[in-house]
Amino acid sequence: MKVNIKTISHEAEESVDLYIHERGVALDRLVEYLEQDLFHAVTLLCQKGEKICRVPSPEIYLIETVNDKQVVHTEQETYEMNKRLYELERLLPSNFIRISKSVIMNIDKVRTYTPMLNGLMKVSMLNSQETYISRKYLKEVKDRILEARHYE
């Protein structure tokens, strides 16, 4: 596929024109990705003790709810924040996905997925942290894994 890029003035509205043979799920995701500016990384304001820290979304491995607080895990650090998971789902880029009632994970930080006998799936992150995908969210996560594999 050929890609043309033109730089425009800051006063002009940015837009994308796509000339395609047929529309499919992948294209719909691309359109959503572009329209919602999901390609832009976001920065979360988190707490670590008394300090307020800026944590860029590409550094986040997973976010989990613990005692009504959101715990943000990076490669080596852990932070807290007060936003609800559903608010974070809307805010975070498309590489983040809900995997259980209390966890959102960055699929770019996964080392392995291991199916379990009880219907859950074990996830090992690049930083050796482990979590589980609940049965309720498993189909959506599997679809995303297969979709990502299709484009590699």
Q: What is the pLDDT of residues 34-71, one digit of tens each?
A: 776 656 678 999 999 999 999 999 999 999 999 989 99
| The predicted structure's pLDDT at residue 38 | 59
Residue range 40-150 forms a domain whose CATH class is mainly beta
For the chain, helix (H) and strand (E) counts, in that order, are: 3, 10
pLDDT of 149 above 90: no
115 pLDDT above the threshold of 80: yes
Average pLDDT, the chain: 88
How sure is the predictor about 145, in pLDDT bands with cuts at 50, 70 and 90?
Answer: confident
Name the 3-class secondary structure at 32.
helix
Report how far apart the first and last C-alpha atoms of the chain are (Å, whole number).
15
* Average pLDDT, integer, range 91-112: 93
Close Cβ partners of 11 (under 8 Å, ≥ 6 residues apart): none
Sign of CA dihedral 65, 69, 72, 78: negative
